[in-house]
Structure 1
Amino acid sequence: MQDNDLPITDWTYDGRLEYVNKNRLVIELVIEQALENFDEQTISLTFQTQGKAVIKIIDLFNGVHFNVESLPNGIPKDITLFSQLAFWVKYKSAGMIYTGNRTNKQTSPEQIPEPIVIKKNHIDLQLEKLAINLNKLNQKVAADLIGYWLSANKKLLNELSFIEESPCELEIDNDVSDTQKTRYKADASFRFLYLFFNIREHLSTVELYENKYLVKGSNRPQYVARYKESHHTKTQIRQTIKSIIDKFNEIYVETEDKDFIIRALFKSISKSAVLDVYEINKNDPSHSDYVQKLKQLKVKPSLLMEQVS
């Protein structure tokens, strides 16, 4: 380590605050330079903008839960720590945002290491699938909904995180009531599960749903694509949503009790808020049936299987 690398010698909370106060301009420059060669989509998904990335990375370093002992091997303990964007993305998102093969746009073929083949277990495969589908969701919905999804699944993400008590929420640009927050968290989780289970391959009438809920519109409530829809179209979309819920229940019944990741993902939509956000109200003759179907997603799958059989 060179002296001009500005080594970090005091990792206490006060020590980190003092380090940033003394070196903020250099730290900001280090982050900005690293951002020039890092994947823009990943930065957008994690921090929304490059400007916010600079601010948030410094805030994460200054956070009360930041622990030097949790730094992965090979991460520098000097000012170049702030250039390790793959680490900061993983830390900010609790490891749920994929950074593989995107770290440096200018990497030459000679610099790419030989791949290490590791046999992945079930949890590793599920984590990879989570990350891939979260990136897919980011391409299809407004930024706030990514924050709502992370918030809705905060407990699961913290349990899976490689750093204890690491943050896993993105800022929400539009302030809404607590009731609306509950609805949007359920909505974001529902859209995610649609992609996660590739529902398009199981149902033939999903085009209208996708055109409304899986087309990136403006980052404002109701977070849907802006287009004119007739009363008939709205009715069709609601019917499609019911069909999606039916399919979710079929998948859930076949889930193993020990598959805590899948069960946790389903739990985030096991509430009537799903019907509220999609305007399936009590005037709908099947409303109570679908409330029950959603609540069943909290029950052990094996118990539901017994009821079916």
Structure 2
Amino acid sequence: MKYQPIEDFTREGRQRLVAERGEEIRFLLDKAFTDFLDAEPDVSLAAFGFRGDDPVSEAVEWAVTRFADGHVDPAELSNGSRSFRLFTEVRFWLSQKAGQQGYQRILAAAKRPRSPALLEEMPAAEADPDLEVLAFVRALADALPSFRARTCADLLGYWLEGTKRLRRDWFGWHERGELSEVAERRSKKQRSIHTHDAMFRFLCCFLQLVPGASSAAEDLALELTSLSGCPDRPPYRVPDRDVCGKLARFGVSGPRQVGALRKQGARSFLHRCLDRARADIDTAPGRLASALIRKSLSPTTLHALEIEGDMALRARIDEVRSGADQEEYT
């Protein structure tokens, strides 16, 4: 493939190129980083410092900024790289981020056989932590049929996609999710929202928060709309109007009231998940569950549940996520 040459490598020229053709540059970088991760399934962008909810987008924005404002000497590039091909060369950008030796070290470390990273977090007194890990993996797998029954096929696919690197790094579990044609056509932002929604709902099933012991109207509203089986199409929940009758004893007379109760229920279930992140962490299963909760919840979860304005919950999620050291898989 022939790429258009980059004529001006001065800082002003590079900044002008980003201003004029930034969308094309980002598209090439996004595809390149995504293809790189598919080709190197043992490598995580977290090892290079990209640890956000969407590490590919984070890496793309870093590369764009580095190109526009950093030092780029065309004399140090091959002839072919003095063109838009540069935005397809992941090795160049990751070497810029970690240094050439750092890049090589990270790739070599990722390919070394190793025990699951979370074994380092387990209590030293555990007689056989490997058995605890296997039991936890089995519990995750055993929860999937219930999760599927309480949601739909696409949300199962979104959960598998959202946890693929986590499962790979912890357990070497490489199964990928399958999505319907409708889901595949969703935008990247929409798919991110559905993925965070799926990870929250899976926690509700895995932590056995459903069927709920509480008879509170808000808990029941969330369970009826989001955790009782739903149509396999966005927004992946039972329409609020369809559950009004089951909530009539609480004085509910219309879908607007159901929607308000559903959001209250989401807040209630989120608080319970966050409580569990701090409970029973002196045992291997408890530590694994705590880490799963921290990795599954983020501020994007609030957006997915339509409660992004809840600053108290946002602060609590941030506190739980920052309360433990981020794992390095290097």
CA distance in 2, matches of 1:129, 1:264: 15
CA distance in 1, matches of 2:259, 2:290: 30
Say whether residues 1:190 and 2:215 are aligned partners.
Answer: no
1:150-229 aligned at under 5 Å gives the runs 150-161=160-171, 166-173=174-181, 174=183, 175-200=185-210, 201=212, 203-205=214-216, 206-228=219-241
Letter in 2 for 1:151: E
CA distance in 1, matches of 2:265, 2:154: 24
CA distance in 2, matches of 1:171, 1:233: 29
CA distance in 2, matches of 1:237, 1:154: 29
Which portions of structure 1, spanning 4 or more consecutive aligned residues, are displaced by more than 4 angstroms? 63-66, 160-163, 257-260
Say whether residues 1:296 and 2:323 are aligned partners.
Answer: no
How far apart are residue 218 of structure 1 and its match?
Answer: 2.3
Which residue of structure 1 aligns with residue 141 of structure 2?
A: 131
SS in structure 2 of the partner of residue 121 of structure 1: helix
Which residue of structure 2 aligns with residue 278 of structure 1?
A: 305
Q: After superposition, what is the alpha-carbon deviation per residue over 1:197-247, rounded to whole angstroms, capped at 9, x for unaligned? A: 111355433222111012323221101123515222211111111111111
Determine which of 236, 253, 256 is the counterpart of 1:231.
256
Percent of residue pairs identical: 19
CA distance in 1, matches of 2:170, 2:297: 21
Residue-pair matches, total: 183
Letter in 2 for 1:290: L
1:4-23 aligned at under 5 Å gives the runs none
Contact 2:230 2:236 in 1 (8 A): yes
Letter in 1 for 2:225: K
CA distance in 2, matches of 1:221, 1:278: 13
Q: Tell me: CA distance 1:156–1:260, structure 2 relative to 1, closer, same or farther (3 Å).
A: farther
Contact 1:130 1:196 in 2 (8 A): yes
Q: Tell me: CA distance 1:250–1:177, structure 2 relative to 1, closer, same or farther (3 Å).
A: same
Higher helix share: 2
What is the CA RMSD across the aligned residues, in angstroms? 3.1
Contact 2:160 2:175 in 1 (8 A): no
1:245-256 aligned at under 5 Å gives the runs 245-256=270-281
How far apart are residue 146 of structure 1 and its match?
Answer: 0.9
Contact 2:280 2:287 in 1 (8 A): no
Contact 2:151 2:230 in 1 (8 A): yes
Which residue of structure 2 aligns with residue 243 of structure 1?
A: 268
Which residue of structure 2 aligns with residue 148 of structure 1?
A: 158
Contact 1:141 1:213 in 2 (8 A): yes
Which residue of structure 2 aligns with residue 36 of structure 1?
A: none
SS in structure 1 of the partner of residue 149 of structure 2: helix
Q: Tell me: CA distance 1:152–1:267, structure 2 relative to 1, closer, same or farther (3 Å).
A: farther
Letter in 2 for 1:241: A
Q: Tell me: CA distance 1:293–1:252, structure 2 relative to 1, closer, same or farther (3 Å).
A: same
CA distance in 1, matches of 2:165, 2:280: 20
Letter in 2 for 1:270: L
CA distance in 1, matches of 2:234, 2:195: 12
CA distance in 2, matches of 1:150, 1:172: 14
Q: Tell me: CA distance 1:301–1:203, structure 2 relative to 1, closer, same or farther (3 Å).
A: farther
TM-score (normalizing by structure 2): 0.49
Q: RCO higher in 1 or 2 (8 Å CA, sep ≥ 6)?
A: 2
How far apart are residue 279 of structure 1 and its match?
Answer: 1.6
